[in-house]
Amino acid sequence: MTTNTRAQQTINTDRLMASLEELGAIGAYHDEDADVMGVRRLALSPEDAEGRRLVRKWFEEAGLTASTDAIGNTYADRMGLDPDLSPVMSGSHIDSVPTGGKFDGALGVLGALEVIRTLNDHDITTRRPLTIAFFTDEEGCRFGTDMLGSAVATGRIPLEQAYALTDADGKSVKDELAAIGFLGDEPVGQRRPAAFIECHVEQGPSLIHEGFDLGAVTGVQGISWRKLTITGASAHAGATPMSFRKDPGLAAAKINCRIHEMCASGEYGPDMRATMGVITPEPGMINVIPGRVTATVDLRNPDDDAMRRAEADLDAYQQEIAEQLQVTIDSQQTARTPAVAFDEAVIAAVEAAARVQGLKCRRILAGAGHDAQEWSTVCKTAMIFTPGLHDGISHNPRELSTPKHCADAVNTLLSMILALSDEAGNA
């Protein structure tokens, strides 16, 4: 069969949407605020277990050989014409945040399944084997570490460290994996695909607002978090002359203004983002100059050099402000992940696949973390983004992509998987 005739195959949109609905009914709850049905399928909860069992059953019904590894990632393999070649892998996650929607993660898993079902319908065997998968605890809401399953599978986080993580009730990842029947016996770290491709909802407003059908994801931005403890002198708001004050609230406000000015300056690239999400004064009274303020700074940048410069310049500014306002600033780095750049050839292939289908596609940077960034450390990787209605809102019950949007993304996934699995190679 030639690539040309294959390119004409399209997925069954009704079947894809029906599967999304059926999985979305597991852990469904009525959200009072939004007055819609949301999804609550926390990692390794009974709802996650029920979702896992359903998807694993679907994997097997599609003729795939399913297996679960020691961190609960579940893979399903399809033979290729050349079984010695490493597979092309596609997948995502089926756990959700406590107030989630039907599409985040699920579209990537069930989209990959729909590709397999379509290949089955048309009796197509690819040259390379194919693997589809769902990964454990992508959201990190329950045990505090996101992309947990894929990070263990690709070697960033040691298995024993992941096992020891506990939830708010002190229950460990290992015990909960065993409790839901997904403590698998396949060793972690053995799967090294030729390529990884993940389909996901954008979780932002860009595609829908700019009228694009699809996003070709270029990478994931770097993250730098710091916690600031700013100490001054608590005093009376009326009796203390302005020149006598050591006001940590003013210091926090100035730092907050500064990080926004840094973004606007363009000096750190066009895509720097900065947020002071926590500003907590103590004692927190209207007529008391605070003695201490706890604040956080979240910096994002797709350019690691620009991120380093921003961090250094912010360090210097904090010192300057501390001297100027006579406060002390203790600055602790609480998280830092480098930017991830996806594979240029795979990004270009997403664009080409979109073009063939007449879809309007733009390159886009992922604002959130994804399983694909973990796999990008072991093989060439890219992602396909689907637009979402309601400004692309996600991690919210109102999260919604239309059948057309989902079908465009999964048809692109289908042609990507066909193209990547036809590639020659030694392994």
**Considering the complex, what minimum distance in angstroms separates the CB of residue 107 from Zn ion?**
9
What Rg, from alpha-carbon coordinates, does the chain have? 24
Q: Which is nearer to Zn ion, 105 or 149 (CB)?
A: 105
**Are 180 and 189 in contact, with CB atoms under 8 Å apart?**
no
For the range 263-270, what are the long-range contacts, defined as Cβ-Cβ under 8 Å and sequence gap of 24 or more? 267/309, 268/301, 268/303, 268/306, 268/307, 268/309, 268/310, 269/301, 269/302, 269/303, 269/306
**Considering the complex, what minimum distance in angstroms separates the CB of residue 303 from Zn ion?**
24
**Considering the complex, what minimum distance in angstroms separates the CB of residue 93 from Zn ion?**
6
Q: Which is nearer to Zn ion, 104 or 213 (CB)?
A: 104
- 3-state percent breakdown (helix, strand, coil) of the chain, nearest 5: 35, 25, 40
State in Å, rounded, how far the first CA of the chain is from the last one. 22
Q: Which is nearer to Zn ion, 104 or 374 (CB)?
A: 104
- Overall residue count recorded for the chain in this entry: 427
Q: Which is nearer to Zn ion, 24 or 105 (CB)?
A: 105
Q: Which is nearer to Zn ion, 308 or 395 (CB)?
A: 395
**Considering the complex, what minimum distance in angstroms separates the CB of residue 58 from Zn ion?**
19
Rule CB under 5 A: is residue 392 a binding residue for Zn ion? no
Q: Which is nearer to Zn ion, 31 or 104 (CB)?
A: 104
Give the Cβ contact number of residue 330 at 10 Å: 12
**Considering the complex, what minimum distance in angstroms separates the CB of residue 407 from Zn ion?**
19
**Considering the complex, what minimum distance in angstroms separates the CB of residue 356 from Zn ion?**
27
Going by C-alpha positions, the residue among 185, 167, 166, 171 that lies closest to residue 74 is 185
Query: Mask of contacts with Zn ion, 79-118, x by CB under 5 A?
Result: -------------------------xx-------------
CB burial of 154-172 (b: ≥16 within 10 Å; e: otherwise) equals: beebebeebbebebeeeeb
Query: Mask of contacts with Zn ion, 204-243, x by CB under 5 A?
Result: ----------------------------------------
Q: Which is nearer to Zn ion, 96 or 331 (CB)?
A: 96
Residue 277's identity, in one-letter code, is: G
**Considering the complex, what minimum distance in angstroms separates the CB of residue 105 from Zn ion?**
4
Give the footprint of Zn ion on residues 273-302 (CB under 5 A): none
Size of the site for Zn ion (CB under 5 A): 2
Q: How far apart are CA 169 and CA 158, in angstroms?
A: 23
Phi then psi for residue 212, to 5 deg, are: -95, 150
Query: Mask of contacts with Zn ion, 8-47, x by CB under 5 A?
Result: ----------------------------------------
Q: Which is nearer to Zn ion, 117 or 200 (CB)?
A: 200
Q: Which is nearer to Zn ion, 100 or 281 (CB)?
A: 100
417 exposure class (CB count in 10 Å sphere: 0-12, 13-18, 19+): buried
Count each helix (H run) and each strand (E run) in the chain, helices first.
14, 18
**Considering the complex, what minimum distance in angstroms separates the CB of residue 220 from Zn ion?**
12
**Considering the complex, what minimum distance in angstroms separates the CB of residue 375 from Zn ion?**
14
Q: How far apart are CA 400 and CA 24, in angstroms?
A: 12
Q: How far apart are CA 274 and CA 311, in angstroms?
A: 11
**Considering the complex, what minimum distance in angstroms separates the CB of residue 92 from Zn ion?**
6
Q: Which is nearer to Zn ion, 71 or 310 (CB)?
A: 71
Q: Which residues bind Zn ion (CB under 5 A)?
A: 104-105
